[in-house]
């Protein structure tokens, strides 16, 4: 007799042996004991969770000599004959190979005959999702009202492929993936029975790698036993699965965090030359980062969800920032995708590492820039205070000189925006919006300025006739502030609407920020919301009055070649 | 290939198989998974020989059984390969029929199904049941180079043996044994994982010329002395009109750039061993971002080449970006 793999030898023979499916075994034990077994069941769930096993146990239990009983005895004639797989009343049908109407008809024709030995004929139809549509429909009637002595058990991994009419005729049981704890428990049992020496950590690693399938776990154990010399070690398991242990992953990520590129590359080199596959390594890294993310995000760590959760990992997670991790994962993901297509998986791993490290560096630079920006703001506020004291500017946008000769920075006064937002007038806004296009009018002069006005979106209008316009394109917004254009634009508005308006133009981006800030405060019931000042200046070109006097031709030329090239001569 | 050689190339897999054999723990179904050129089929055949060999030192490669398996003539060893790039349900049904028959000769039955990822969905579902609980004394070996395309239910029923790609050093050793010069051997080892393919490239005429061209061009780019496009014009290697050469050229360039990257990061191990001093001399002129973007550009060029991009413009764009 040849060797039988562990997962076949240790197929559960009674409900007690089934792990991880208490909700199902309990239902069946009670149903069997009370003689309330239904005529059709549908078992669904991922691979290796016990669908076929439980089906067989039920077949034994209903036919057992001791029935009604909650567990098959496994010693009576009937049980033994079913265990051997040659019983006349239990039919295990492989629906994938027998998926035609003809095969189902054959079942239908034979169900009516009474069982030869036991009380019930049990049809276990495995991989039932592979039946053809015709076959499913041929089964419907039989499944709904079979003779008293028949039980159908359908098992599948892909319930979405089963027609609704079949599902509604069966009692459906969803099998859960088996938890790591349960797998460990079962492996320990097997190891004890088989007299195998194995490290506890090895068992845990096997359980994690099985991803919820008991069969996968036992297969792995089988392989590990064959691979190991005497005692099955954790390293043995890692070698079979090609995975990388948590400590090693920690070392890599730790060096990445501390920007030690050199060390990371060397370390990866060592791993690859010791036989780890680059693709697997990358996959493990992605999972490691994913777990770091989860640990960071959730305070309570559910060992079911997280594969890596040693103390080192947890401390590492605290140091990282969430946004950064998700960026890193997407970099690794891209690398993984690219890797499948080429012959140089290593190049991609290395590239990914460099990218991640440079991400860290960029982050530092961005932080520096932010600090500088804040510093600048502080300076600016001081300047503003000075100006106010001297009463030079009142309520008007404050102008601060920049380094550029031709450009001046325009800072928009947040008080203006606050005022508009707090004293908004919906009617006026609606009116303006409806008539906005009439700015064009019949007069063809200053079309460029009119165009700038029309390009803006009216965001808000105050009672005191202040308009907030937002611009997708910041350069257009800046042009509106050029002094000549600004005055002309105000004039045009007065001409068209017969009222005086003050224009406040903003880039869309800034407007959105401010709007959000405002609504946030408004929602929190702040009566007169105060907004933070706008720190970003709008860069406006100085002394540019040529637009006003351009004839159409020149304008056309500028739009074609750009203003740098076009020169106007007499 | 003899068993001893295979043990050298795939130590892990062979250790599992041999240990299982010795401990009498052979599983009824194995899934051999690994890249092309990792000797999956060879291992499967040796596996069959060991089970049948009548000699003392198994496999002897001399007895009738070994010879028949070697020549694919053994009635109990059945090999199924994809027909027209896919394994169809009919083939699986034929297999199942064979399965149900008793053997003609004493001994186990062995089924080898190659490239199981090419199996149609129908066929894969059909073999599920019979891989799970076969007749006693039958062994099934499935091979694939694409584990991700196989039904998880099949994978979970087999013992998955992961075949590692050859180590670069193994390929180099193999090429050295075949009288290839060390520098070329190192470069070729990066290009492929398949021994026979590696030897083919190394023995070809093009590789030496292409390597020389790459060195010239990369030196020109690093030292900024010459225009690489002119070097290509002058070169005798016609990468402009020969797509295969262009591909090889890009591959070798990529290896060179990676060396530059390594030197920049002070990593000793590089492929172009003779270039080390030259690169070191100019390494301060180039910063890390530029090196990464160079590698990116070469990879992009490779992808565009796969899309049949026009080679002249491809080369021009590449070098404008690299300079």
Q: Percent of chain A having pLDDT more than 90?
A: 10
- Domain with A233, as residue range(s), is 180-241
Asked whether residue B139 carries a pLDDT value surpassing 50, the answer given is yes
Q: For residues A332 and A351, what is the distance between their CA atoms, to the nearest angstrom?
A: 10
Q: Do B266 and A227 touch (CB under 8 A)?
A: no
Which of A142, A473, A265, A227 lies closest to B17, judged by CA?
A: A227
Q: Do B25 and A226 touch (CB under 8 A)?
A: yes
Task: Provide the strand spans (E) within A111-149.
Answer: 121-126
Asked whether residue A549 carries a pLDDT value surpassing 60, the answer given is no
Distances (CA, A) of A31 to A72, A91, A173, B114, B263: 13, 22, 14, 46, 72
pLDDT digits (tens, 9 = 90+) for A53-108: 999 999 999 988 887 888 888 888 888 888 887 888 888 888 887 888 888 888 88
> What is the domain-level CATH number for residue B98?
3.40.50.300
Give the Cα-Cα-Cα angle B282, B286, B287 (nearest 5 degrees).
140
B164–A contact, CB cutoff 8 A: yes
Instruction: Give yes or no: residues A24 and A165 share one domain.
Output: yes
Q: What is the DSSP string of B263-323?
A: HHTT----S-GGGHHHHHHHGGGS-HHHHHHHHHHHHHHHHHHHTT--HHHHHHHHHHHH-
CB nearest A47 (choices: B92, B156, B191): B156
pLDDT digits (tens, 9 = 90+) for B15-31: 888 888 888 888 888 99
Residues in chain B with CB shorter than 8 Å from the CB of A355 are 292
Q: For residues B265 and A19, what is the distance between their CA atoms, to the nearest angstrom?
A: 52
Q: Which residues contact A551 (CB under 8 A, 6 or more apart)?
A: none
Residue B145's CB is within 10 A of a number of other CB atoms, namely 16
Average the pLDDT over each of A71-75, A141-145, A314-318, B110-114 and give the range with the smallest value: A314-318
Phi-psi map region of A437: left, alpha, beta (phi>0 left; psi -120 to 50 alpha): alpha
Q: Do B25 and A277 touch (CB under 8 A)?
A: no
In a domain, B197, yes or no: no
Residues 187-206 of B with CB under 8 A from A: 190-193
Asked whether residue A276 carries a pLDDT value surpassing 90, the answer given is no
B23–A contact, CB cutoff 8 A: yes
Residues in chain A with CB shorter than 8 Å from the CB of B288 are 354, 358
CB nearest B12 (choices: A130, A215, A239): A239
Tell me what pLDDT residue A175 has.
92
Residues in chain A with CB shorter than 8 Å from the CB of B292 are 351, 354-355, 358
In a domain, A295, yes or no: yes
Residues in chain A with CB shorter than 8 Å from the CB of B30 are none
* Contact between B6 and B43 (Cβ < 8 Å): yes
Residues in chain B with CB shorter than 8 Å from the CB of A127 are 125, 128-129, 153
Question: And the tokens for B15?
Answer: 């250790």
Number of domains making up chain B: 2
In a domain, B255, yes or no: yes
> What is the domain-level CATH number for residue A235?
1.10.8.60
Which of A48, A73, A42 lies closest to A60, judged by CA?
A: A73
* Contact between A263 and A225 (Cβ < 8 Å): no
Instruction: Give yes or no: residues A455 and A541 share one domain.
Output: yes
Torsion of CA A275, A279, A283, A288, to 10 degrees: 50
Q: Do A273 and B169 touch (CB under 8 A)?
A: yes
Tell me what pLDDT residue B173 has.
87
Which residue of A239, A341, A343, A346 to mutate against B (max B Cβ within 10 Å)? Answer: A343
In a domain, B279, yes or no: yes
Tell me what pLDDT residue A538 has.
77
B295–A contact, CB cutoff 8 A: yes
Tell me what pLDDT residue A342 has.
67
Instruction: Give yes or no: residues A452 and A556 share one domain.
Output: yes
Tell me what pLDDT residue A239 has.
83
Give the chain B residue nearest A6 (alpha carbons).
B27
Which of B65, B42, B41 lies closest to B53, judged by CA?
A: B65
> What is the domain-level CATH number for residue A31?
3.40.50.300
Instruction: Give yes or no: residues B152 and B215 share one domain.
Output: no
Tell me what pLDDT residue A123 has.
92
CB nearest A130 (choices: B28, B96, B125): B125
CB nearest A223 (choices: B137, B159, B302): B159
B261–A contact, CB cutoff 8 A: yes
B152–A contact, CB cutoff 8 A: yes
Tell me what pLDDT residue B142 has.
92
Number of domains making up chain A: 4
3-state secondary structure of A113: coil
Q: Is the peptide bond before A419 cis (omega within 30 degrees of 0)?
A: no
3-state secondary structure of A407: strand
Residues in chain B with CB shorter than 8 Å from the CB of A157 are 152-153
Confidence bin at A550 (pLDDT 50/70/90): low
Instruction: Give yes or no: residues B63 and B112 share one domain.
Output: yes
Instruction: Give yes or no: residues A412 and A549 share one domain.
Output: yes
* Contact between B300 and B257 (Cβ < 8 Å): no
Domain boundary (A142, A174, A206) is at A174
Asked whether residue B278 carries a pLDDT value surpassing 70, the answer given is yes
Which of B220, B285, B289, B209 lies closest to B249, judged by CA?
A: B209
Instruction: Give yes or no: residues A231 and A308 share one domain.
Output: no
In a domain, A441, yes or no: yes
Domain boundary (B150, B165, B180) is at B165
Average the pLDDT over each of A187-196, A269-278, A538-547 and give the range with the smallest value: A538-547
Query: Model-level pTM greater than 0.80?
Result: no
Residue A307's CB is within 10 A of a number of other CB atoms, namely 20
Domain boundary (A226, A241, A256) is at A241
Max mean pLDDT among A265-279, A299-313, A533-547, B211-225 falls in B211-225
Instruction: Give yes or no: residues A90 and A216 share one domain.
Output: no
- Domain with B314, as residue range(s), is 205-322
CB nearest B265 (choices: A1, A94, A262): A262
Give the chain B residue nearest A277 (alpha carbons).
B164
3-state secondary structure of A92: strand
Distances (CA, A) of A231 to A166, A281, A411, B310: 49, 26, 74, 60
Q: For residues A334 and A282, what is the distance between their CA atoms, to the nearest angstrom?
A: 11
Domain boundary (A361, A392, A416) is at A361
Which of A230, A265, A187, A224 lies closest to A10, judged by CA?
A: A187
Instruction: Give yes or no: residues B128 and B70 share one domain.
Output: yes
Instruction: Give yes or no: residues A150 and A163 share one domain.
Output: yes
Q: Do B165 and A157 touch (CB under 8 A)?
A: no
Tell me what pLDDT residue B1 has.
65
Average the pLDDT over each of A243-257, A284-298, A407-421 and give the range with the smallest value: A407-421
Residues in chain B with CB shorter than 8 Å from the CB of A56 are none
End-to-end CA distance of chain A: 108
Give the chain A residue nearest B17 (alpha carbons).
A226
Tell me what pLDDT residue A521 has.
83
In a domain, B157, yes or no: yes
Q: Residues, chain A, total?
A: 570
Tell me what pLDDT residue B15 has.
86
* Contact between A261 and A273 (Cβ < 8 Å): no
In a domain, A371, yes or no: no
Instruction: Give yes or no: residues B227 and B110 share one domain.
Output: no
Q: For residues A215 and B158, what is the distance between their CA atoms, to the nearest angstrom?
A: 9
In a domain, B200, yes or no: no
Asked whether residue A528 carries a pLDDT value surpassing 80, the answer given is no
End-to-end CA distance of chain B: 47
CB nearest A1 (choices: B126, B128, B136): B136
Instruction: Give yes or no: residues B159 and B221 share one domain.
Output: no
B267–A contact, CB cutoff 8 A: yes
- Give every strand in the sheet of A90-94, ordered side by side: A90-94, A121-126, A150-156, A40-44, A171-174
In a domain, B177, yes or no: no
B103–A contact, CB cutoff 8 A: no
Instruction: Give yes or no: residues A434 and A465 share one domain.
Output: yes
For strands A538-541 and A90-94, give the pairing: unpaired
Q: Which residues contact A448 (CB under 8 A, 6 or more apart)?
A: A547, A550, A555
In a domain, A353, yes or no: yes
Q: What is the DSSP string of A501-525?
A: -EEEEEEHHHHHHHHHHHHHHHHTT
Asked whether residue A546 carries a pLDDT value surpassing 70, the answer given is no
Question: Average pLDDT of B227-244?
Answer: 80
B288–A contact, CB cutoff 8 A: yes
Instruction: Give yes or no: residues A12 and A152 share one domain.
Output: yes
Instruction: Give yes or no: residues B228 and B158 share one domain.
Output: no
Tell me what pLDDT residue A381 has.
57
In a domain, A391, yes or no: no
In a domain, B183, yes or no: no
Instruction: Give yes or no: residues A275 and A147 share one domain.
Output: no
Tell me what pLDDT residue A396 has.
47
Tell me what pLDDT residue A382 has.
54
Instruction: Give yes or no: residues A170 and A184 share one domain.
Output: no
Confidence bin at A542 (pLDDT 50/70/90): low
In a domain, B187, yes or no: no
Tell me what pLDDT residue A402 has.
44
Q: How far is CA A539 from the centre of its chain?
A: 40
* Contact between B239 and B315 (Cβ < 8 Å): yes
Mean pLDDT of chain A: 81
Half-sphere exposure of B270 (CA within 13 A, CB side): 25
Could you identify the residue written with the tokens 């880039």?
Answer: A507
Tell me what pLDDT residue A2 has.
67
Instruction: Give yes or no: residues A252 and A309 share one domain.
Output: yes
3-state secondary structure of A29: helix
Domain boundary (B148, B165, B182) is at B165
Q: Do A338 and B299 touch (CB under 8 A)?
A: yes
Max mean pLDDT among A224-233, A382-391, B144-153 falls in A224-233
Give the chain A residue nearest B107 (alpha carbons).
A2
pLDDT digits (tens, 9 = 90+) for A429-481: 888 887 777 777 766 677 777 777 877 888 888 888 888 888 887 777 887 88
> What is the domain-level CATH number for residue A301?
1.20.272.10
User: CA-based Rg of chain A, rounded to a whole angstrom?
Assistant: 38
In a domain, A113, yes or no: yes
Domain boundary (B136, B165, B194) is at B165
Question: And the tokens for A23?
Answer: 């909700």
Instruction: Give yes or no: residues B147 and B294 share one domain.
Output: no
């Amino acid at each position: 007799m040849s060797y039988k793999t562990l997962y076949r030898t240790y197929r559960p023979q009674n409900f007690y042996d089934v792990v991880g499916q208490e909700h199902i075994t309990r239902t069946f034990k009670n149903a069997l004991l009370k003689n309330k077994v239904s005529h059709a069941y549908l078992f669904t769930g991922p691979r290796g969770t016990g669908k076929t096993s439980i089906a067989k146990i039920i077949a034994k239990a209903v036919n057992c000599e001791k029935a009604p009983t909650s567990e098959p005895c496994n010693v009576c004639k009937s049980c033994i004959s079913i265990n051997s797989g040659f019983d006349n009343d239990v039919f295990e049908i492989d629906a994938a190979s027998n998926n035609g109407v003809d095969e189902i008809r054959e079942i239908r024709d034979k169900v009516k005959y009474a069982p030869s030995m036991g009380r019930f004929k049990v049809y276990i139809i495995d991989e039932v999702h592979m039946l053809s549509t015709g076959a499913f429909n041929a089964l419907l009637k039989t499944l709904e009202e079979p003779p008293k002595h028949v039980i159908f058990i359908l098992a599948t991994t892909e319930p979405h492929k089963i027609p609704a009419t079949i599902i509604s005729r069966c009692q459906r049981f969803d099998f859960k993936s088996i938890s790591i704890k349960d797998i460990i428990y079962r492996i320990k049992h097997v190891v004890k029975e088989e007299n195998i020496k194995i490290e506890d950590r090895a068992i845990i690693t096997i359980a994690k790698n099985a991803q919820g399938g008991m069969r996968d776990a036992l297969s792995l154990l089988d392989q590990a036993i064959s691979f190991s010399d005497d005692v099955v070690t954790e390293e043995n398991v890692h070698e079979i699965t090609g995975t990388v242990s948590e400590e090693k992953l920690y070392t890599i990520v730790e060096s990445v965090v501390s920007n030690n590129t050199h060390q990371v590359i060397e370390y990866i080199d060592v791993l690859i030359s010791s036989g780890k596959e680059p693709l697997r390594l990358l996959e493990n890294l992605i999972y490691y980062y994913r777990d770091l993310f989860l640990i960071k995000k959730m305070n309570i760590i559910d060992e079911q969800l997280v594969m890596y959760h040693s103390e080192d990992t947890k401390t590492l997670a605290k140091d990282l920032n969430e946004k950064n991790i998700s960026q890193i994962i997407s970099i690794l993901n891209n690398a993984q995708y690219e890797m499948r297509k080429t012959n140089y998986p290593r190049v991609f791993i290395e590239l990914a590492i460099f990218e991640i490290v440079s991400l860290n560096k960029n982050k530092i630079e961005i932080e520096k820039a932010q600090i500088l920006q804040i510093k600048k703001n502080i300076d600016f506020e001081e300047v503003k205070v000075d100006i106010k004291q001297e009463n030079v500017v009142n309520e008007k946008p404050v102008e601060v000189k920049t380094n550029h000769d031709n450009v001046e920075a325009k800072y928009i006064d947040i008080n203006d925006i606050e005022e508009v937002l707090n004293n908004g007038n919906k009617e006026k806004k609606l009116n303006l919006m409806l008539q906005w296009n009439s700015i064009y009018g019949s007069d063809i002069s200053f079309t460029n300025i009119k165009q700038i006005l029309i390009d803006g979106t009216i965001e808000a209008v105050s009672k005191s006739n202040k308009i907030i316009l937002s611009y997708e394109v910041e350069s257009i917004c800046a042009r509106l502030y050029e002094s000549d254009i600004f005055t002309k634009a105000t004039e045009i508005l007065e001409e068209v609407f017969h009222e005086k308006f003050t224009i406040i133009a903003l880039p869309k981006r800034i407007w959105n920020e401010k709007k959000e800030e405002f609504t946030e405060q408004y929602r929190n019931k702040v009566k007169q919301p105060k907004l933070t000042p706008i720190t970003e200046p709008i860069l406006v070109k100085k002394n540019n009055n040529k637009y006003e006097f351009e004839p159409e031709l020149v304008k056309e030329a500028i739009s074609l070649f750009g203003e740098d090239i076009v020169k106007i001569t007499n | 290939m003899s068993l001893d050689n295979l043990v050298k190339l795939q130590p892990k897999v062979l250790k599992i198989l041999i240990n299982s054999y010795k401990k009498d723990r052979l599983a009824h179904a194995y899934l051999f998974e690994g890249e092309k050129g990792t000797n999956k089929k060879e291992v499967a055949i040796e596996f069959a020989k060991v089970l049948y060999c009548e000699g003392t030192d198994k496999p002897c490669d001399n007895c009738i059984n070994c010879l028949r398996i070697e020549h694919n003539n053994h009635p109990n060893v059945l090999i199924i390969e994809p027909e027209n790039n896919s394994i169809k349900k009919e083939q699986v049904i034929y297999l199942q029929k064979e399965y149900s028959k008793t053997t003609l000769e004493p001994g186990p039955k062995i089924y080898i199904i190659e490239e199981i990822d090419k199996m149609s969905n129908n066929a894969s579902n059909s073999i599920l049941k019979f891989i799970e609980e076969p007749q006693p004394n039958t062994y099934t070996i499935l091979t694939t180079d694409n584990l991700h395309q196989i039904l998880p239910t099949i994978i979970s029923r087999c013992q998955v043996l992961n075949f590692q790609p050859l180590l670069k050093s193994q390929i180099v050793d193999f090429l050295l044994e075949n009288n290839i010069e060390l520098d070329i051997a190192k470069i070729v080892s990066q290009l492929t994982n398949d021994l026979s393919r590696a030897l083919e490239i190394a023995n070809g005429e093009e590789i030496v010329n292409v390597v020389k061209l790459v060195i010239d061009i990369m030196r020109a780019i690093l030292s900024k002395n010459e225009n690489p496009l002119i070097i290509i014009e002058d070169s005798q290697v016609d990468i402009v009109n020969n797509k295969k050469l262009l591909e090889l050229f890009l591959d070798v360039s990529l290896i060179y750039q990676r060396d530059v990257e390594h030197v920049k990061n002070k990593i000793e191990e590089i492929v172009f061993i003779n270039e080390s001093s030259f690169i070191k001399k100019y390494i301060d002129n180039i910063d890390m971002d530029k090196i990464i973007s160079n590698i990116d550009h070469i990879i992009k060029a490779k992808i565009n080449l796969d899309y049949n991009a026009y080679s002249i413009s491809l080369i021009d764009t590449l070098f404008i970006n690299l300079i």
